[in-house]
Amino acid sequence: MILYSDRDDHYSQRVRIVLAEKDISAEIKESNSEDVSDEILSISPYHKLPILVDRDLAIHDPSVMMEYLDERFPHPPLLPVYPVERANSRTLMLRIDREWCPLIDALVSRENTDKELIKIREELLHEISSIAPTFKEFKFFMSNEFTLVDCLFAPILWRLPSLGIKLPLNRHLKPLLDYQNSVFERPGFLDSLSSLERDLRFDS
């Protein structure tokens, strides 16, 4: 099994977290879309990373990769057992992908004007801050177990300082900040970080 992974990309890191949490033996080939060969990129119809290759199977969608790995290596499970809870997790993952990730991608690309980037940062901070109270009730993202939803959310939180967003230290956000600190200390999360990603929070 080979994961062609962008060394500084939240989509790639979410897959690396799954590999690390499940202790899956896989070769991780770090690169970026500018450096990787056309032969590898041609595996994906979108010509971008990440790409997971397992024998004759090639997967180019990060969410499909994560669910494939969770089903093929069922222990520890990263999706709930019961159908309603699984559907809720998938709904949360879809929300992050459709509503938050475009904001993050815009901040990473820096193709917008400074004024637009400020608005994007404000919107993303508002969205993330709005879920802070849920962490009073749950240890993880709408769950008391670490799930694929956390695999999506943790790389976003890790990148916030490098994107010009600082979570305020206040009472409202304390449950979220406690969650953040807990997830960042998980061995699976730490093992998922590339050398470039390790510096993100300290170079910003």
> Are residues 121 and 36 part of one domain?
no
Side-chain half-sphere CA neighbours of 129 within 13 A: 15
pLDDT of residue 68: 97
The reported pLDDT for the residue numbered 102 is 97
Q: Is residue 21 part of a domain?
A: yes
Per residue in 112-162, pLDDT (tens digit) is 999 999 999 999 999 999 999 999 999 999 999 999 999 999 999 999 999
Does an H or E element contain 38, and which? helix 38-41
CA distance 44 to 171: 45
At 39 the pLDDT is 76
Q: What strands, in cross-sheet order, belong to the sheet with 51-54? A: 27-31, 2-6, 51-54, 57-59
Number of residues in the chain: 204
Pair (67, 88) in one structural domain: no
**pTM listed for this prediction:** 0.92
Question: What was the pLDDT predicted at 33?
Answer: 67
Question: Which domain CATH number covers 133?
Answer: 1.20.1050.10
42 and 134 assigned to the same domain: no
Count the domains in the chain: 2
Structure tokens that stand for 177 in this block: 């900040």
The answer to the question of residue 123 being in a domain is yes
Supply the mean pLDDT for the chain. 92
Give yes or no for a contact between 75 and 145, defined as CB atoms under 8 angstroms apart.
no
- Could you list the residue range(s) of the whole structural domain that residue 178 is in? 83-186
- The predicted pLDDT at position 203 comes to 54
Tell me if residue 81 falls in helix, strand or coil: coil
Instruction: Please report whether residue 146 resides in a domain.
Output: yes
- CATH of residue 66's domain is 3.40.30.10
Flag residues of the chain having pLDDT under 50. Answer: 204
Would you say residue 177 lies in a domain? yes
